[in-house]
Amino acid sequence: MKKNITIKEIAKQAGTSVSTVSRVLNNNPSVSPAKRAKIQAIIDQNHFQPSMLARGMVSHKTNTLAVVVSDINNPYFTDLISQIEQNARPAGYTLLLINTMTAGTGQDASDVQVEIEAFKRIMEAKVDGVLILGGEIDKEVVAERYISALNTLNSKAPVVVIGQKVAGCDALFVERDQKRSVTLITQHLLALGHRQIGFVGGEPGVRITSQRLAAFKATMQTYSEIDESLIVLNNYYPQSGYDAMAQILATHKQLPEALVAINDRVAEGIFRCLADHGLQAPQDIAVGSCDNFPYGDFLIPRITTVDQHNEVLGRIALHYLFQLIDHKQLEQTETTHLPELIIRESCGAKLPKEGKQ
């Protein structure tokens, strides 16, 4: 069997250096057209396929980004990863996805260790940069050993976190506007005339929950009163919405006028529970969501929600990560990823009129 040609042998045949061959393999424009053509001809003739490891040893780059996600089943993360991949691929990067599955399990010390072990594997993989999506970094109280491990990782490869800034953490943060999304949907329900409004979903001890709940309460206090019995915090999934709605039905003789769900999946659970009790939104209760997920326009009813524009978040995060990888001075990219209210059917504002299709 013919032995595969090496980068060193290509360089010898082309009469050039190994680093020049590496630049051709990495599409670096600093190689002259004549040298590039000669090297490329040798590569093509020998059907050379460079290994990621070999390329990294020469160029000190693997053209790989690690993405650490706490729950790949969560549509927010799935959508965000999709946007990141769409922007990373044209830049010549592939993604190493690490799904820790630490979301939604509550405060558990073993979860922290799972993420710390993930950081160790990332350092062994010699990736060029790291994106962190959710997990321990989103907790109200972040474990000191997690911050220490993340700072160690950041010293080996630049890290960008899509989340709220954590004191003592050296990574770069791209923050979402958590409060505006809740304010938009709550104001919309109030504008429709509802005053008895509840808040459903979200895990206690997680900053996205506390920030969104605080925004809900602040908005309600401006226009109405808050009924604490209509605030049910449990988690971010359809079962969470179902359980919260069942609890409200069991403890209240009369339905509240409206509910704010922390995301579309929680709203799905609310719809299912209502249907199981012979009720429906928005005829019996208006429902709105703080976080738009894919396919909300195909549910019954279509969910009135707030689009966080993950495609913008993904672009911003990668823009900064690429600058850090290339040791460039950070320059601002588009900074406006303002949440946008999407009015559909579940709030009652867009019910089909009688006699019309």
Task: State the fold for domain 64-175.
Answer: Rossmann fold (3.40.50)
Burial degree of 265 (CB within 10 A; 0-12, 13-18, 19+): buried
Q: Distance (Å, rounded) from C-alpha 256 to C-alpha 244?
A: 13
Bridge partners of residue 99, in order along the sequence = 69
Name the segment(s) of the chain with CATH classification 3.40.50.2300: 64-175, 178-307
User: Taking the CB of residue 255, how many other CB atoms lie within 10 A of it?
Assistant: 17
Give this prediction's pTM: 0.80
Three-point CA angle 35, 29, 7, nearest 5°: 55
- The domain covering 7-59 belongs, at the CATH homologous superfamily level, to lambda repressor-like DNA-binding domains (1.10.260.40)
Residue length of the chain: 357
CATH for 178-307, among 3.40.718.10, 3.40.190.10, 3.40.50.2300, 3.50.50.60? Answer: 3.40.50.2300
Comma-separated ranges of CATH 1.10.260.40 domains in the chain: 7-59
Helix, strand or coil, per DSSP, at residue 171 = coil
Per-residue pLDDT of the chain (357 residues; tens, 9 = 90+): 456 788 888 989 999 887 788 778 777 667 888 988 999 999 888 888 766 555 555 556 789 999 999 999 899 899 899 999 998 998 889 999 999 988 754 445 578 999 999 999 999 999 999 999 999 999 999 999 999 999 999 999 999 999 999 999 999 999 988 899 999 999 999 999 999 999 999 999 999 999 999 999 999 999 999 999 999 999 999 999 999 999 999 999 999 999 999 999 999 999 999 999 999 999 999 999 999 998 899 999 999 999 988 888 888 999 999 999 988 888 766 555 689 999 999 999 876 554 333
